[in-house]
């Protein structure tokens, strides 16, 4: 199945839900916000959110600095 991850078309035959995708894509899950098809998905819903053909997913990580 094809999804759009951070603006790039990607084949996804591995991950069944957002939680699996985020765990493999992000070094640290803390500070990550997930947007799925224009809607923010809360962390406690990642496991229950299946991935579908054509989903548009943005992983946004907050970085502190000084």
For residue 56, what are the β-bridge partners? 4
CATH code for 2-61? Answer: 3.10.20.30
- Determine the Cα–Cα distance for residues 13 and 44; give it in Å rounded to an integer: 23
Q: pLDDT tens across 17-55, in order?
A: 999 999 988 667 778 899 999 999 999 999 999 999 999
Look at strands 39-41 and 32-36 and give their pairing. antiparallel
Backbone angles phi, psi at 18, to 5 degrees: -60, -40
Q: What is the pTM of this model?
A: 0.85
Asked if 28 and 18 touch (Cβ cutoff 8 Å), the reply is no
- Predicted confidence at residue 27, as pLDDT, reads 64
- Determine the Cα–Cα distance for residues 24 and 28; give it in Å rounded to an integer: 10
Domain ranges of the chain: 2-61
């Amino acid at each position: 199945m094809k999804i759009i991850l951070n603006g790039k078309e990607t084949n996804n035959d591995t991950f069944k839900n957002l939680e699996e995708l985020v765990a493999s894509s992000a070094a640290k899950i803390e500070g990550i916000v997930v947007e799925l098809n224009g809607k923010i998905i809360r962390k406690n819903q990642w496991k229950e959110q299946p991935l579908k053909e054509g989903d548009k997913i943005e992983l946004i990580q907050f970085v502190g600095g000084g």
